Every structure is written in structure tokens, then in C-alpha cells.
Structure 1
Amino acid sequence: MASPDKFNYLPKAADLLKKSQSAEGPDRLKVYKDYLQAGLDALTKQFQKGTSIIQLLRARSALMDHILITSWSQFSVNSGSALIAVGGYGREELQPYSDIDILVLLTEEDSHDDNQEKNLELEAWLAFLWDIGLEVGHSVRTIAHCESLALEDISVATNLIESRFLCGDRLLLKELNSRMKEAGFWPSEKFFRAKLDEQTARHIKFKETSFNLEPNIKSNPGGLRDLQVIQWITLKHFKSSSLHDLIKYGIFTRREYRSLLNGQQFLHRVRFALHVLSGKREDRLLFEHQKKVAEWMGFEDHDNKLAVEHLMQRYYRAVMIIRNLNELFLQIFEQEYLQVNQDTEYVELDDDFYLHNQRIGIKEPDLFLRKPHALIKIFRHIALNPEIIQIEAKTMRKIRSSQQMVNRKYRRDPINISYFKEFLSTKQLTSRGFALMKRTNILGAMIPKFAQIEGQMQFDLFHAYTVDEHTLFLLRYIIRYNKPEFQHEFPLCRKIMKTLVDPTPLYLAAIFHDIGKGRGGDHSELGAVDALEYANSIGLEKHIAKLISWLVKNHLIMSLVAQRKDISDPDVIESFANNIPSILHLELLYVLTVSDIRATNPTLWNSWKESLLKELFLATKHYLTQSTPRANQTEMMEDTRQQVLEQFTKTGDSIEPVRELLVELGDDYLLRYHPEQIIWQTEQLLSQPELPYVAIKNHRSQAGTEVFIAVEDQPDLFAAITALLSQNHLNIQAATLFTSPKGLCLDTFIVLDEQGHPLSYEQRIQEIQDNLIDGLGDIKNRGISVSRAVPTRLKYFTVKTRIEFINHDNSPFTTLEITALDRPALLANIGQAFRDCEIEIHSAKIVTLGERVEDTFTISDRDNRPITDKARIKEIKQHIEEAINA
């Protein structure tokens, strides 16, 4: 136990003792609070001066030691018991607001309930610690009780092996330690298995990724807990609390030890800053803290990167090192010190590699020197053999130590190139080949531009992972289409992959699609140049190189068209198709787009996006395979009318009412809606409903819910509908708005619930239907407002508002594009602005990208004319900006 006076920047220990002895009640409380705060202030100043974080954590522990020991004595609770520090406090790794984990160790005599006086003293002391602001986690047990609980619970056992004596009867801890050293107390192999199971469960909880954009510094894979697993096993088996000793035990090299230590110190510094800045025990590096932590740790904006992006890139690289070394340690310890599964059969894969315990290994230690191409060949084995889960530890170390071989000369060697091209052209059965190639740094060595995006984050809510981890997820989804067990998920993607002879263009397009990020400029353009240059450098055929570059350059276009354009409009399909060189380009772009959205953020993908992309793909493919020009608008309109009338003819009812209704609604109606929608809407209208009328059903794609509203035209209609839908916690995905010559509005909204799913419960649907009818019954005299709290995380982002009016010569309407920070009821507020400016809305496409919305509206004035006057546009912009900022 170190004295706080050892750390000369801390408040003097003697001052606390002197002042607290002469004080009582509230005065004593204030003395301890002031001492605690003075200690925190001193540590904070030392942190900002760059003092070693390990020393600061020990200093914090020493400060806490003195507070506990001094107060323990003053409350007279030291007789016949011992005060023990356990957990992180026992390790002397105490952060500013960490829990103070203590064990009060009692003799058997003192443990009896009739010792009331002593119990009261202990309760009073613990209450005092809480009152001065300490988060105390305490247990009061006898040696026998500790032993019993520890044998049942690995967490208790782990805490106890890190125990550190503070004060009281030292013999009690000595006796406890002797019990824990007995052969039956968690033997090494049992302890190892328990800690490994704990870690596996924890990694699964965090979806096996170290690269979440709001990571838990302590618990995420590669976080401090992974490092502590190494410490615990080392302490239990080798009876050493020093990780440096792992060098002499042959588990780590000096270089690996230094890397581990650097990663540990960096994470400790981030956690220290996080605690101080948040003023509480906080292990999650949330968006709201990241900018402040980056500034506090001295990171600055430069090189097209924000300070926060520099911080997070350093963080991700640190956790990757810790995770890799954690796996290396566990595997070497299991193989060489526990010597389990030694009798398992070795399976020969070829002349160079074998499989043992689901791990691939090299037969000869100098393999990579003799056959440099084997550095690539090993990953092809992994990609094709689902039985291979890991790379054997010694082989992993050889790969990492050989990565400097992969230089410019290596990348130009025809043999090495041929093996890498073979890896890329293989229809892989598992994504582990790419994942392990990335984690061993071979992927970054083979494609140097990829190494630049490793750990690159984007400070927004749209991207859930770092650029490199997102790329791995993208590759994982592409490869997943090859697997029979997932054929039901995306049958169209699977069909395309099945007919694809060579997946090289798709794999390389995936690797390069975001490789231009973090360099400024358009990342699609930059990546396309990089992809073309790389494809040519490895000798791919010119048309393949151009295909890869085209996919990278256009990897966003399909998503943009599907989500922002009216893909039922033949002109939109024709315009999009004219940018697609061939069916192969379209097919690969579709697979890349679906996989890219799925890999960007788990919350982004929904059934509506899936249906839009599929519809766009099929319509474009049909257009590209047509041998005759597409039908003109008049022919399309008549074809739709005929389909509708034929459907009603099948029912045996008179079609005259249908024909009359279609004439009354006008030709524009036949062009605005899909025939299936017209049939359904006509059925509703012919039932002679009272207005307003609302009908709700699943969209024909089954991917969203279609809300059909028939109501008399009035100025506040769009604002009212959007407000009512928002009040009912529905997210609008698209809207088609139509007003007949006689003033009947037929508006259709595609909506999803707050979880991104179509509505499925009849009771909920009926409730929404009733609310809409009630709300639309008297819009003029009934104010409809929306009040929903802004989610906390949105407060930490800024999105530059962009409002753009677009008028094309051949379009009867104006296109309005709005980009803004998302917030509850934003669309309803924009609807109010449209009402105030007397704007007619004909259709809307709603796209939410994390914290940003990118909405597109087709609008006109009240006389159905495009809006072109500059003064009028300026006025409308002002109203919309006010609505966005309301």
C-alpha cells in the first residue's frame, strides 16, 4: 500500500488526519469532501501535464487508501476484522469515479448477528463514505463465506485473487490467501475456461466487433476487460501481477509487450478523461463526450479529419492490438501451459499447411521466407474451409513478423500477384479469409490505400462502424449470399452471385468503395481512381478494371435513385438505365448497394428500402432488355385504364361507375399511381364513403404500410396529415399526393413504425385510422401540433441546412431538395411552412441518414405552376429554414 505522500502533488495525508480528528459531524464531512476534491484536482492537473497514467491511477488508489484507512480508524471499526481492497481498486487501477470495491473480512466470532454494536459502527462508516461522494461496493464476509462464494462464482474468485490489504488484522487476509492457493480452488484450466467463457459471452453481446462508433472502453472486444483477462490468468497461473513476466514465460515478445502496454495506457488515459469530463463513472465513449475528450487529450482538426476522428482512429488501433494480443495469449497459454487437446488429429491441408483444433498452422517455421506467396495462400484455405476458425498462435506471429516482406517489390512479383488474384477470384464460403487478412495487416500491406482507412471513423449517426470494419461487414454480406443456409434471405442477390463466374470485381469494388474517405473531396471519385490504378497494377483485364472502377464511382447512385426519385415514373427509369453500361454492371451494383446499406448501420435497412431497390433493379433490367422503344405516356395511361377495367369486369359488377370515376379523376391520376393502387383506391371510393376517408393496408411489396386518405382539398392538408402521422409515431417513407379537377385529394403515404417495420396489429391500425379521421374532420378550426422530445444524441451533431429549388425545362413542377438535421416532427414543421407559403405538394420522398434527413418534394404554386420567381424562392427558403430550426 502506497502512501499518498509518495505522490508529492497530492494533498498531504497528515492534513486530513489532523483536520478530521478535531472535527465532528458536518465539519468532518466537509474536511473529507475537500480532501477528496483537492486530490481529484491535483490528479487532473497532472493528467494535463502528461504524467504517466499508470502513476495517476496508483496515486488515486493511494489517495483512496488514506481516506478509507483514516475514516475506518475514526469510526472504530477495525477491531477483529480486516479492510481489503478488491477488484480494480485492489489492482491499484482506480479511475477518478470508479467504484471503490472493498471487502470487510470478519472472524467467525465477529460474524454473529448479536454483535450489534460492531454492525452499527460499520454501517455508520459506510454511510459516511457515501456521504462524502464515494461509490462504494462492499461485502462483509468471513473467510469461510468468501471461499464458499468464490468456488461458486468466478467473478468473486477473480476479485479475491486481486485482493490488497489496507488495515486491520493482516492475518485474516493471509489465511484467505492460503485457502485460495489450495489445489482445489479454481485450478488453472478451470479458471481459464471460465474466463474464456465470460469473454466469449461479452464479445457476443457487442456483436463481436471492436469498432462500434460509441464503444465501451472497458467491455468492448479489445477493451480494458480483454487486457484484464490476460492479467487475471497470469496472476492465477504464474502468481505474477506483472505482464512483463510474460516475456520470460515465452508468451509475448518484447515488441508485443510494449504494444500491449501502449494500448493499455492509451485506453486508461481516454477513460480518465471521460470520467473527469462527465463527472461520473462512465465507460461508454458516447458521441456527446467524444469531442471534449479529443480536445482534452490534445487532438486537433487537420488533414481533412476532425480532432475527434483522430482520437477515435487511435482508439480503434489500440483496441485492435489488445484484441489480437489477447487471442494470442489465450491460444499459447492453452496449447503450451494447459496442453489440452494435444492428442487431436492433425489434418494435412497441403504440403505447407495443416489443420489442428480448427486452427490452421504452417508445417515449417521458415515457410514464409521460402515461399513468400504462402502469406496469401493461407487465407485462401481459410476462405474455402468453414472448419478453420482461427490461425494457430505461432503461425499468426510468423505472419505478423513477415508482413514487412509485403512491400512494393512483393506486390509486383508475378507469383504473389497470381496467388492474390486467385484468392480474389474464389467464391469464398466464409468471410474469415478477408477478416483475418485484415487483422494480420496483410490486406493493408497488399492494398496500401486500405491501410490508410483502418480505424477511420466518421462522426455521425449514419455510419455505425469504422470505414474498415464497415468494409469487412460488406464483404461478409456478399460472401453470405454464397452460403446455402442463407439462400432464403436475399434470393435475388443469391441468384446473381450464383451465376457470377468471377467475384473479383465485386470483392475489389467492396474494398475500394469507401477507400477515399478521410482525404477530402468526393470519396467515390477518389476511390474509382484508386481502384482502376490498382486493378491495372495486378494485371486484371482492362474491361474488368473499368468495371471495378465504375462500381466504386457509382456505388451510391442506385440507393439515391431508389430513395429519392419516383421509380414508378418511366422517365426516371430511362434516365437511370442510360447510366448503366450492361446487365452485369446493374447486377453487381445491386448486390453492392444492398450489402453496403446493410453493412453501414443495422438500423438503416428496412423492408421498404429493400422493396425500392428491388423494384428499381427489375424495372431497369426490363428496360435494358427491351428490343423496342418504351411506350409513350398516352399508351401507358390507356394500358393502366384497361388493367383497372379488366379487374372490375372479373367481379361481374357493372364497370360504368368505374369508368365514370376514372374520367372524373382525370388522366393525371392514371399516371400518378400503380394499377394495383388504383384498383384498391377505386374500390374504396365506390363504396361511397363519407369524407374524410382513411384506408390502411400493406403495400403491394409487403415492405411498408400504405395509408390512403381521401379528403376535400384545403390549404392546411399536407401539414395536417404529416402532423397527425407524426403524432401516431409513424415514420413517413414516401408520399404521393393527387388532387382531382373537382378538388378531391387522394393522398397516399407509405409509413413504417418506430422500429422500421410495416404495421401488423389490427387494433393499432384501427386506432391510427380513427385518429386520422378525427384529426382531419375539422382542420381549419383545430390546430394540429406535434410535441416530441429531441433525442439527446442528436444534440451533439450539426448538419448544414441546404434548400435547393430545381426547375427542368420539360417538367411542369419544381423539385425541392432539403437537407437538414433530423428531429421529431421535422416533416410536420416543413408541412406547416408549405401551408404558410401556399405551396402545393405533389409527391415526397423521405430519406433519413442517421442524424441527417435528405427529403425531396415535387411542388408547385396553387395554380399548379412551377416556382421560378427568385424573390418567391427566397421567401419560401426563409420560411422553411424557420420551420427546420423551430
Structure 2
Amino acid sequence: MASSLDTFRNTLKDIRQSLRDRFVAGEPANILVRTHSDRIDALLRQVWRQIRHGFSSSEPTRLALIAVGGYGRGELHPGSDIDLLLLGERTDESVRQGIGEFIAMLWDIGLEVGHSVRTLRECETEARADITIATNLMEARLIEGSEVLFDALRECARPDNIWPGRAFFEAKWSEQQARHHKFHDTTNNLEPNVKEGPGGLRDIQMIGWVAKRHFGADTLQDLVEHDFLTESEYQSLIKGQDFLWDVRFALHALAGRREDRLLFDYQRILAEKFGYRDDGRHLAVEHFMKQYYCTIGELSRLNEMLLELFQEAILYPDSAEAIPLGRRFQARNGFLEVVNENIFKHYPFALLELFLILQQHPTLLGVRATTIRLIRDHRYLINDTFRSDIRVRSLFIEILRQPHGITGALRRMHRYGILGAYLPLFEAIIGQMQYDLFHVYTVDEHTLFVIGNLRTFAAIHRQKNEQNEKFALCAKVFAEIPKQELLYIAGLFHDIAKGRGGDHSRLGAADAQEFCLQHDFSRYDAMLVAWLVENHLLLSMTSQRKDIYDPDVINHFAAEVGDRTHLDYLYLLTVADIRGTNPELWNDWKHILLRDLYEATLLALRRGPENSVQQTDRIAETKEEALQILRQEGILKDEGRKDRIEALWQSAGADYFLRYRPNEIAWHTDAITDSQNRTAPIVLVREGRAGLDIFVYMRDRDRLFQTSTTLIDQLNLSIQDARIVTADNGMTFNSYVVLAVSGHTVVHDSTRYDEREIRETLIRQLRHPDEAISPVSRLPRRQLRHFTTDTTILFHDNDANHRTIMEVSTGDRPGLLSQIAATLTRCEIRLHKARIATFGERAEDIFFITDKDNRPLAEPIRECLRMKIIEELA
């Protein structure tokens, strides 16, 4: 037995090495997966025959070794499981013992086996109960053993015997929908699953299963003969399947095991393996991933169309009476169709009219598959003449002006290939990805998410859903903009020039203006849309990189925006853009920053430049509002407290009242003036507007910021904002807005955070701030290992506040802020404010700093600090 085991192991080793060598030499996976299956068949037969002699109580005809699932189809990738059914007329102890020895030997020689042992009756019972088992048995293939048993299995477990046609289709359809939902219903995930994701191999298999169940089709080619698939569609399916097989085969070979996720770990390697190269605009990996996304996008569209064809044949076999919907369209069984197959040839503009009809009849379930096929077949009609047709242009804008169904119409136009054909600039961004962790969708998918977000604001307003606090302002603003279609056009064009080289905002602005003028918008409207596209990053960059509570910053921003109309449109586009870039990007902190900037700018615009808020006015207003809060809480009734408050505020200085809101000042003031210990650190923790607010009041000293940031990091909290004000009496006000390291607010994170524990931890260490603290030792996320971000540091002066602004861009990592804080301490640099922002694998942090004498940094100090930080972060 031992010598046989070694022989089998060597055989398997030879099989695998041969496959690797042939794949490296360029042989396609569509041949290798079949070869692999055949050679494993031969190996299993040898093992089976050796073990089979031990089944003393069974006759040879009473057992069958059967391949099921993908192995049953004869498709075996390097890391795929060997799925087996061991079928017996009966399964007595001797048979089970022999089967156990067989399976054990397969594992011993190095095969990963998934197996079941059943009788015919058990197979039938299980198949009736579970659609997955029924589907597996549809693909059963006899490897060795009783043909009689195998034929009996095929008869008793035949799907048409145990699953009615309608039930089978609906079960598989629900199965696919649930699977797609796991991947957020998009083909364009950063690390897509080649097998299970939308448009992946499972979607092709889905077509095959339904075809086999309902038409007895053993191959996709059979569907061409049944007139359910055209030759060109068949070629598209096979081409897509071959590409995905190559990718999956390579993934398994690289990982040395089953790995169906196209992880960052492998994307660059595969791009090189498949011959892609960097060029002036795109990395090789971006070219490779574009082909991947375009391939699965086309497969997803074919899957949708063919399943709708099946649905019509299975669920609606009897043609219902047509209901006219205008001269060119009609509804049948709830689906829209053309009145005859020549409509698009005679009326090309109907290629857009169809989507408008769908919007105007929201009870329609969709488009009939035969009409979808006609749309795809007539895309060639969309040329410059088509785009210049006044009817076509009017229809496109009318689609954007409808009260309902705009997102659905644009997504459907995209799926059917009409949107890219009508807007060639949009066609260029289809499948285009950016190789980073910030942009989690391709540019086209992101664009459609942005439109969807804008429509969400409209829905919230329409439903008067005031409970939706995060988007209540968006809904209110949305209702007040004069032309909503301008916002959608800005959304369509805001990233349309990505990948062309140059400033995509400027290039896209020119494209958007030209589009608007071609579609008969006024020059003012065209310029408004162009301004939105060119400045679509202005609001987010200002909120994240500037001190938006400084009146001078607000006045300058208001001058850039110009009027409320521009501000309203820009605010809506910005929120929709951020939410459509990365699901993890939008949080309460960004919501509060954008809302505060919007509201402060709106107030500045109402006042006008001649009545703009000055710092002295702002300070006076803030003090008065803080006093009002303290008065309402009864704190001012104590004359001693009033005196202490006056002394505290006198020492705090003007900067304190510019940097904090009235309710924060009242919170601080109450705690500080109520404390009996004038030297012990005061630490306050509460749930704030945008995260957890942590406030520290104590005597200023070296390493205080470094100590605080390290402690907060060790508590698995992520600092979003830091404000530091040093009073005239040497005390310091340190404030932090923190989120969980996941980016969620602390109350919504899965990790439990105890405010009391956070407070006590900080107090305990801050009593001894000179004691060394171990830096955080969390491991970085897996994906971060695959990105190298150079550290760049820029300095510029903030003349109004007599400070230097330092911008640090570097790779994100645990403990980053603590490292920078330690360097600032060593270089005797005072920090007054920090704004922390993370964009995927990249951190972009802003620090407002001075030297130890509170002066802006001189050039030699800047250069020294730059080198020290780069050295620390290397």
C-alpha cells in the first residue's frame, strides 16, 4: 500500500507540474481545465480499483464513483475541490469502511475532496429538498463503477422529475440575486470574485443550468440551435468564459490553493503575466483590470438578457394580449416591447424613447428580452448623425427631467450599451479603475452611484422623511435648486475626463459646457454645470484641509463660490460624490464638516462682502452664546464661579473662542471652574456631533500631544481632528474628535468603547506625561502592503493667524499620527491644530504649527523638520 501511495503522489505531482509548465508556456486554461479533469479521472480510477477489491460484501455493480459540480462538467482548475458522489444500492458497514479508505487515500496523496455517500433514494430526497444538490446532480458524470446505478440516478434525480420548471427557474433566480447582493450588486468591486461575483463564472453556469433543465441543452452551443442564443452572443460568452478561466487558473497557480478573489496581492503579477504594460496614462494593472471589468460587465448583461428570455419562455409561455403604449411600443405580460422588429431601423430615436416610456409607466416590470436583443443589435445606428438629431437630444434631457426613474433609466441605458454609445466620452471610462484603496468602483460605476445618491436626496424630500438626519439638509437644498437636470449632468461629467491626462476637472468642465450648449441649455446653465465640474472637489478639500471655523477662511470660500445657487448645487454634488466613491468614506465627521461649511458660507453670502463676519464679531457672539448656555444650566448663580469663569476666559485668549463652538466652551468651562484640583489634568469624554469628543485641560509641557495621540491610538481610536490652544497662564486646551479605527462612530462600531475607561486611561498616563509609552503595534490592513506611497511634505504660511501650515502626504499605517507628533516634539515645534484625512492607502494630514516662540517656521527649520519626518516615516 505504501508503494502505491508514493506512486499516486508522484503521479499527482507530475500532473500539477505539467499543467503549470503548459500554462506558463501560454497554453490556454480552456484546454488545461479539461486536461486536468481527464488526468484526475484516470488517477481516481487507479485508486478506486485498488481500494475496490476490499469491498468484500458488495457486488461490482452496486457502487458507482461519480463526479459532480464543476468536476462533473469536466472543468477542473488547479485548486478546485474534487467533488464526488459515491452512490450505492445500499451502504452497509463494509461499503462505508471501504469508501472511507478510498477518501482517506485521496487526501493522503494530496487531493482536496468534497464527497457524499448516498443511495438512490437519498439522492432523490436530497435533490427535492435542495436546489443546489439538484443542480449538482444535473452535472453528474460517471468515472468508474456501475453504469446501471448511474443511469438510474440520472432518471430518478432528473430535475424535470423533481423540480417543476417554474419552481426550478425561480429558485435559481433567487439564488443568483442573493449571491449578487453579497457583492453589493455591482460587477466593479476592488477585489472581485472571479467565480461568484456578478458577471463571473457562476453567471455563465447559471445560463447553462437553466438551459439544461428546460431545453435539455448540454452545451451553450445547443442554445444557438434552439434559437435562444445568437452566434455572436455565443462567441461573447465563450470569449468571456475563456478569459475568466485564464484568470482563475492563474490565481490558483499563484496562490498554490483555491483562490477565486482577484486580490491586490495578485493583480500586478497577473497584469504582467498577461502581457499588459504601463503607459503614460495608466498602469499595466489598470489596463488588465479594465479588461476584466469590461468582460464581466458584458457577461452580466448577457446573463440578464438570456435569463429574461428564459423567464418569458418559462413563466409566460402563452403570449398575452399586447397593450399599446404609443405608436412604437407596447406592453406584454408587464414588459415593454417594440411593436415590430424594424422599429429601431425606421425610427432610430426610439433607442432613447424606450427609456422615457419606461419612466412614464412605472408599473412596467422591464424590457422584453427580444427587445433588449434588438437594442443591442441596433447600437450601430448611434453615430454623429444620431447624436445631432434634435429629437434624440430632447429625449435624453427629458429622461433627466422626469420625476421618477432617472437612476434606473441611466443604469439600464448603461447595461444595454446605449449610454456609452450616445456619450463616447462616457464609453472611454467604462471599466476604468484607479489602482488604489480610495476609489473602490470603476469610474463609470462611481458616476452612476453619484446619480443614485442625488436621486436619494430627492426621494427623502418627496417622502418628507425628516428622520433621515444625515441627509435632511441635502433633501431641503435639493428641493430649492431651480433645475435638477443640471445637477445630474454635472454628476455625469464630473469624472468623465479621468485617464485622459491633465486636470480631469478642467477637461471635464469643457466637455460638460459643450454638451449643455449642444442640448439647448442657456449659456448661464452651461457655465454653471461647467463650474460645478471644474470645482467638484472644492467643497470637500476646503472642509478637510482648512480651518472652516475661521471667519477669514469662510469669507474667502464664499467669494470663490459667489452665490447661493452655486453653493447649493456644489454641496449636493459633493455629498453625492463622497458617498459614491467609497462606502467607508462617508461618516458623521465628514457630514458635520460639510454641513458646517455650507451653513457658514450661506450666512456669509447673505451678509455680503461688505458685512462679512470679522473675528471680533465672531468672538463676541460665541462668548454670549456660551454664557447663555451656562446661565440656562444655573452655573452663573454662583458668584465665585462667575469670577473663575471670567478669569479662565481672560487667560484663554481670542484663539480659543474662534476655534470652539459655544456648547463646547460651556462644557469645558463648567468642568474647569468646578474642579477643586487646579493642577491635575481634567479629561472630558462625551459623544459629540461627529464622533467621540475628548477634551484635555492641563499645564502645557513637552510631549503632551505625542502622549495623547499615542494613548488614543492604543485605545483603537482614530483621531480626525485635533485643536490645541495654549492659554496665557500656561494651561492648554487640547481637543480631539475621534472615531473607531474602522472609521465608524464609536456608538455604531462593533467594538465596545467605555467612555469612563477612556477617560481614566488618559488621566492615569497624563499625570506622568514624561514616562515613555510603547507605540501602537497593530498590523496594517492586508491591502496596504501592496501600495507604496512616497512621503511628501509641503509648507505654506497662514499669514492671518501667523502660523505655518504643514501638509503631510504619506502611506497610511497604524500609529502614524504618533510618529509625526514625536518628531514635532523632538524639533520643538508647537502644534495648534491638526486635520487628519485618510484616502484609502494614503494619509493626507494638515498641521497648523509654529516654533517654540509661537512664530511661523523659518526656512531652515522647515527643511530640518521635513527631513526628520521623512526619516521617521521611512
Give me the TM-score of the superposition, normalised by structure 2: 0.94
C-alpha distance in 1, partners of 2:598/2:842?
A: 26
CA shift, 1:134, in A, is 1.2
1:304 paired to 2:281: yes
Alignment map for 1:439-518 (pairs within 5 Å):
439-483=415-459, 484-485=462-463, 487-488=465-466, 489=468, 490-518=471-499
CA shift, 1:43, in A, is 1.9
1:67 to 35, 39, 43: 43
Alignment map for 1:46-195 (pairs within 5 Å):
46-76=22-52, 79=60, 80-108=62-90, 111-113=91-93, 115=94, 118-181=95-158, 184-195=161-172
Q: Which amino acid aligns with 1:720?
A: T
1:379 paired to 2:355: yes
Q: Which amino acid aligns with 1:796?
A: H
1:368 paired to 2:368: no
Q: Indicate the RMSD between aligned Cα atoms, in angstroms.
A: 2.0
C-alpha distance in 2, partners of 1:346/1:724?
A: 71
Identity %: 39
1:414 paired to 2:390: yes
- Larger mean Cα displacement after TM superposition, 763-772 or 176-185: 176-185
2:204 to 208, 213, 227: 227
1:614 paired to 2:595: yes
Are the equivalent residues in 1 in contact too, given 2:65–2:144 (CA < 8 A)?
yes
SS at match of 2:142: strand
Structure 1, residues 775-811: CA drift from partner, whole Å, max 9, x if none? 2111213434221111211101121211111124444
Q: Which amino acid aligns with 1:626?
A: R
Q: Which amino acid aligns with 1:525?
A: R
Are the equivalent residues in 1 in contact too, given 2:309–2:369 (CA < 8 A)?
yes
CA shift, 1:543, in A, is 1.3
The corresponding residue for 1:535 is 516
Are the equivalent residues in 1 in contact too, given 2:86–2:117 (CA < 8 A)?
yes
The corresponding residue for 1:272 is 249
Query: CA distance change for structure 1 residues 624 and 67 in 2, over 3 Å: closer, same or farther?
Result: same
The corresponding residue for 2:858 is 868
C-alpha distance in 2, partners of 1:816/1:798?
A: 21
Q: Which amino acid aligns with 2:766?
A: L
The corresponding residue for 2:583 is 602
Structure 1, residues 42-70: CA drift from partner, whole Å, max 9, x if none? 22232233323221110010111111111
SS at match of 2:246: helix
1:743 paired to 2:730: yes
SS at match of 2:733: strand
1:322 paired to 2:299: yes
- Larger mean Cα displacement after TM superposition, 52-61 or 535-544: 535-544
SS at match of 1:578: helix
C-alpha distance in 2, partners of 1:102/1:756?
A: 45
Structure 2: 5+ residue runs without aligned partners?
A: none
Are the equivalent residues in 1 in contact too, given 2:316–2:333 (CA < 8 A)?
no
Query: CA distance change for structure 1 residues 771 and 647 in 2, over 3 Å: closer, same or farther?
Result: same
Are the equivalent residues in 2 in contact too, given 1:299–1:307 (CA < 8 A)?
yes
SS at match of 2:123: helix
SS at match of 1:604: coil
Q: Which amino acid aligns with 1:634?
A: T
Are the equivalent residues in 2 in contact too, given 1:732–1:846 (CA < 8 A)?
yes
2:572 to 591, 599, 611: 591
1:667 to 632, 654, 660: 654
Q: Which amino acid aligns with 1:783?
A: I
The corresponding residue for 1:834 is 824
SS at match of 2:161: coil
Structure 1, residues 598-645: CA drift from partner, whole Å, max 9, x if none? 111111110111111011111111111114422432333233333333
Are the equivalent residues in 2 in contact too, given 1:724–1:784 (CA < 8 A)?
no
Are the equivalent residues in 1 in contact too, given 2:710–2:776 (CA < 8 A)?
yes
C-alpha distance in 1, partners of 2:613/2:89?
A: 94
Give me the TM-score of the superposition, normalised by structure 1: 0.93
Q: Which amino acid aligns with 1:880?
A: I
Query: CA distance change for structure 1 residues 178 and 611 in 2, over 3 Å: closer, same or farther?
Result: same
CA shift, 1:384, in A, is 4.5
SS at match of 1:364: coil
Aligned residues between the structures: 852
1:653 to 623, 638, 642: 638
Query: CA distance change for structure 1 residues 119 and 425 in 2, over 3 Å: closer, same or farther?
Result: closer
Query: CA distance change for structure 1 residues 663 and 303 in 2, over 3 Å: closer, same or farther?
Result: closer
C-alpha distance in 2, partners of 1:182/1:392?
A: 27
The corresponding residue for 1:783 is 773
1:287 to 252, 256, 264: 264
Structure 1, residues 699-730: CA drift from partner, whole Å, max 9, x if none? 3xx22221111121111011110101101111
1:803 paired to 2:793: yes
1:203 paired to 2:180: yes
2:621 to 619, 631, 639: 639
Q: Which amino acid aligns with 1:505?
A: L
SS at match of 1:793: helix
Structure 1: 5+ residue runs without aligned partners?
A: 1-23
Are the equivalent residues in 1 in contact too, given 2:127–2:157 (CA < 8 A)?
no
C-alpha distance in 1, partners of 2:253/2:849?
A: 51
C-alpha distance in 2, partners of 1:360/1:649?
A: 67
CA shift, 1:246, in A, is 0.8
Q: Which amino acid aligns with 1:553?
A: E
Structure 1, residues 446-493: CA drift from partner, whole Å, max 9, x if none? 110100000111111111111101111111111122223474431222
The corresponding residue for 1:10 is none
Q: Which amino acid aligns with 2:638?
A: D
Are the equivalent residues in 2 in contact too, given 1:385–1:429 (CA < 8 A)?
no
Q: Which amino acid aligns with 1:152?
A: A
Structure 1, residues 114-137: CA drift from partner, whole Å, max 9, x if none? x2xx43332222112112221100
C-alpha distance in 1, partners of 2:504/2:771?
A: 51
1:766 paired to 2:746: no
Are the equivalent residues in 1 in contact too, given 2:540–2:594 (CA < 8 A)?
yes
Are the equivalent residues in 1 in contact too, given 2:217–2:223 (CA < 8 A)?
no
Alignment map for 1:839-858 (pairs within 5 Å):
839-858=829-848
Are the equivalent residues in 2 in contact too, given 1:759–1:765 (CA < 8 A)?
no
Q: Which amino acid aligns with 2:709?
A: T
Q: Which amino acid aligns with 1:98?
A: S
Query: CA distance change for structure 1 residues 347 and 774 in 2, over 3 Å: closer, same or farther?
Result: farther
C-alpha distance in 2, partners of 1:61/1:216?
A: 23
CA shift, 1:380, in A, is 2.0
CA shift, 1:327, in A, is 1.5
Are the equivalent residues in 2 in contact too, given 1:535–1:545 (CA < 8 A)?
yes
Alignment map for 1:698-717 (pairs within 5 Å):
698-699=687-688, 702-717=689-704
Q: Which amino acid aligns with 2:504?
A: H
C-alpha distance in 2, partners of 1:341/1:776?
A: 79
C-alpha distance in 2, partners of 1:472/1:666?
A: 49
C-alpha distance in 1, partners of 2:638/2:762?
A: 31
Structure 1, residues 18-50: CA drift from partner, whole Å, max 9, x if none? xxxxxx41x443433332232222222322333
The corresponding residue for 1:676 is 663
Query: CA distance change for structure 1 residues 758 and 185 in 2, over 3 Å: closer, same or farther?
Result: closer
C-alpha distance in 2, partners of 1:859/1:525?
A: 33
The corresponding residue for 1:570 is 551
SS at match of 1:860: strand
CA shift, 1:338, in A, is 4.8
Q: Which amino acid aligns with 1:768?
A: I
Structure 1, residues 181-208: CA drift from partner, whole Å, max 9, x if none? 4853223322212211111111222221
- Larger mean Cα displacement after TM superposition, 495-504 or 127-136: 495-504
Structure 1, residues 367-387: CA drift from partner, whole Å, max 9, x if none? 222222221122123345443
C-alpha distance in 1, partners of 2:301/2:628?
A: 66
Are the equivalent residues in 1 in contact too, given 2:399–2:406 (CA < 8 A)?
no
The corresponding residue for 1:12 is none
Query: CA distance change for structure 1 residues 557 and 124 in 2, over 3 Å: closer, same or farther?
Result: same
Q: Which amino acid aligns with 1:215?
A: P
